[in-house]
């Protein structure tokens, strides 16, 4: 089939409107919607799902003053049984693990890693160089800022914002000062996590809290700024719910 002019993409008859870049191979058993675009070199695992309008392996386009690395990223990778849902964009260099789901209209940027069986909710943005562990749940309309580390079994409620720059671009940037969310912690809806903050294992951040300081393991924090209210009870630890 002929290539789209200037894009390096070629039409494929595997699905309506499917465009494939050079070297892209689609394993048997994949489910492909209409008008999907998969850029050159992208690796697609068996039984992956790519819904209508998904874009995978898109090259990053940085602003003139962006502090993100301008080095060309490696190809994107979509793991076995993973899903990139309708209108979602997964950039080159991103790695979506086996069984993970990137929700409708979500974005996963270059060099971000999404662990096995994790879910990125509708409209959420995972910025460059983020590491998301396994079985993580990121709900609708969240922002996970560049450089963030999210360990296994973390829950991030809808509308949560994680930040990485206390100067908001006013001074020489240096590396991002991103938050770290330790194993099995939970962050309630619309909470804000400030730059460099560490949320300890099994900690609980209440909805709407603004977290300006580290949260110790198992602490329950509430308010603006967040303060410790109590500890998570033994009956509410993840091990009791497995």
Is the pLDDT assigned to residue 200 strictly greater than 80? yes
Question: Residues 81-130: pLDDT tens digits?
Answer: 999 999 999 999 999 999 999 999 999 999 999 999 999 999 999 999 99
Domains 1-118 and 136-242 belong to one CATH topology: yes
Domain boundaries, the chain: 1-118, 136-242
Question: Residues 141-173: pLDDT tens digits?
Answer: 999 999 999 999 999 999 999 999 988 877 766
6 — pLDDT class (breaks 50, 70, 90): very low
What six digits make up the tokens of 8? 């390096």
- How many Cβ atoms are within 10 Å of 75's Cβ, its own excluded? 18
| CATH topology (fold) of 1-118 | UDP N-Acetylglucosamine Acyltransferase; domain 1 (2.160.10)
pTM greater than the 0.95 cutoff: no
Question: What would the CATH number be for the domain defined by 136-242?
Answer: 2.160.10.10
């Amino acid at each position: 089939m002929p290539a789209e002019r200037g894009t390096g993409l070629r039409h494929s008859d595997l699905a309506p409107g499917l465009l494939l870049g050079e070297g892209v191979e689609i394993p048997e058993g994949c489910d492909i919607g209409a008008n999907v675009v998969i850029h050159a070199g992208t690796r697609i695992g068996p039984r992956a799902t790519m819904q209508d309008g998904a874009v995978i392996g898109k090259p990053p386009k940085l602003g003139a003053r962006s502090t993100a690395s301008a080095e060309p990223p490696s190809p994107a990778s979509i793991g076995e049984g993973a899903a990139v849902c309708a209108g979602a964009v997964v950039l080159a260099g991103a790695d979506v693990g086996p069984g993970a789901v990137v929700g409708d209209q979500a974005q996963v940027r270059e060099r971000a890693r999404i662990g096995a069986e994790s879910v990125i909710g509708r409209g959420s943005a995972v910025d460059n160089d983020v590491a998301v562990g396994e079985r993580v749940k990121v709900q609708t309309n969240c922002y996970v800022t560049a450089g963030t580390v999210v360990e296994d079994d973390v829950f991030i409620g809808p509308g949560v914002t994680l930040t990485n720059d206390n100067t908001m671009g006013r001074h020489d940037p240096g590396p991002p000062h991103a938050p770290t969310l330790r194993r099995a912690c939970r962050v309630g809806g619309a909470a804000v996590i400030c730059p460099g903050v560490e949320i300890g294992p099994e900690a609980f951040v209440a909805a709407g809290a603004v977290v300006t300081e580290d949260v110790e393991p198992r602490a329950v924090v509430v308010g603006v700024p967040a303060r410790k209210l109590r500890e998570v009870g033994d009956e509410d630890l993840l091990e009791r719910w497995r």
